Amino acid sequence: MKIDNSVLVSVDEKNDVIDGTLNIPQGVTSIEDYAVYDCRSLKSVVIPDGCSSIGEGAFEDCKNLTSAVLPDSITSIGDSAFSGCQYLKSVIIPDGVTLIGAFAFYECGCLDVVIPGNVTSIGGYAFVGCDHLENVTIPNGVTAIEENTFENCRFLTSITLPDSITSIGNNAFYGCESLESISIPNGVTSIGDGAFDCCYSLKNITIPDSVTSIGDRAFEDCDSLEEIHVPAGVTIGEHAFPPDAKIIIDYPKEQDPLADSPAPQSSENVIMHYEEGKDPLSDSYNGSVYSDEQNADEISAIGNENVIGEDDAIGEDDSR
């Protein structure tokens, strides 16, 4: 074992790993990048109190690692620190941790872990493929769900997002096929490409008024999605929603629904809530919200809302 100025630099697998266990000695204050990389005989590791950081790739590809004991002194877990530890299932992230790096627990398929309340940053791809994650609460202070953070967490059923979140990155929850519901906080301004794509169990979701953009394929292939509320004026990417979902566009009373509006993909059903007295079916409508290329097939007035389906084109010269 090589230790330099209280930093664990490297491990001699043959001499330092005894019966599958690595006991890092007292006095080590940090673990160097890739210090224990690809140690195949390692099954458990005990990190001493006083150690504050785990470096990039420190335990990456320790394929047989099942348990890691982290002391309360740890404040940061580096990029790819436990990436590829496919059997890692016993680890408690200490309350003092503020940073979880990108790819930190990538493809730790057996891991079910609690993210402590002091974490303010979670890197992209941090929990990709963590199939045993079922319920996740993101701490207040985290401002972004980075790209692919929870991709393919197949048994994740619920996630709680704090009011501090302002953006949900590309593919952040892609393939979370057991996720049934999620509440997006008011304050989120952007939902990235593919953010919830292939969340097959997702049934209902409301987009808050703060959102200004929804990326390509954001909710595509969400086969159970029945309806989604979208604020007026939001920019919507291509194939953002599944074709059979009911899209409800909410207009504030003071806003003219014939002005800037989202233009969802063809074959969607859209309910437009609009200001009383402004009839988007009148001659003044002129297809400013949906063009004839969008193949709306049915328009039926329901009180203060209109349902737009697939066969009638809006904006054509007709008797309406």
Q: What letter would DSSP give residue 256?
A: -
Q: Which helix (H) or strand (E) holds 44?
A: strand 44-46
pLDDT at 231: 87
Residue 12: Cβ within 10 Å count: 10
Supply φ then ψ for residue 293, to 5 degrees.
-75, -15
Taking the CA atoms of residue 136, residue 137, residue 139 and residue 143 in that order, the dihedral angle to the nearest 10 degrees is 70
pLDDT at 293: 32
pLDDT at 226: 81
Radius of gyration, CA atoms only, the chain: 25
**CA of residue 111 relative to chain centroid, distance:** 18
**Which residue do the tokens 């063809």 mark?**
266
pLDDT at 133: 94
pLDDT at 277: 40
Burial class of residue 135, CB neighbours in 10 A (0-12, 13-18, 19+)? exposed
Give the contacts of 26 (CB within 8 A, at least 6 positions apart): 48, 49, 50
DSSP codes, 60-121? TT-TT--EEE--TT--EE-TTTTTT-TT--EE---TT--EE-TTTTTT-TT---PPPTT--E
Burial class of residue 26, CB neighbours in 10 A (0-12, 13-18, 19+)? exposed
The span from the CA of 176 to the CA of 198, in Å, is 7
Q: What letter would DSSP give residue 20?
A: T
Per-residue pLDDT of the chain (320 residues; tens, 9 = 90+): 999 999 999 999 999 999 999 999 999 999 999 999 999 999 999 999 999 999 999 999 999 999 999 999 999 999 999 999 999 998 999 999 999 999 999 999 999 999 999 999 999 999 999 999 999 999 999 999 999 999 999 999 999 999 999 999 999 999 999 999 899 999 999 999 999 999 999 988 889 999 999 999 999 999 999 888 888 889 999 999 998 888 888 776 555 554 544 444 433 455 554 444 434 433 332 222 332 233 333 322 223 343 333 333 333 344 43
The span from the CA of 116 to the CA of 107, in Å, is 20
Buried b (16+ CB within 10 A) or exposed e, 216-239: ebbbbbbeebeebbbbbbbebbeb
Q: Which helix (H) or strand (E) holds 16?
A: helix 13-16
pLDDT at 135: 93
Sheet holding 246-250, edge to edge: 204-206, 227-231, 246-250, 269-273, 305-308, 299-302
Q: Are 136 and 100 in contact (CB under 8 A)?
A: no
Half-sphere exposure of 147 (CA within 13 A, CB side): 5
The span from the CA of 222 to the CA of 249, in Å, is 19
Q: Are 78 and 102 in contact (CB under 8 A)?
A: no
pLDDT at 228: 87
Would you say the C-alpha torsion 211, 213, 218, 224 has a positive or negative sign?
positive
Residue type, 98: T
pTM above 0.85, yes or no: no
Residue 275: Cβ within 10 Å count: 14
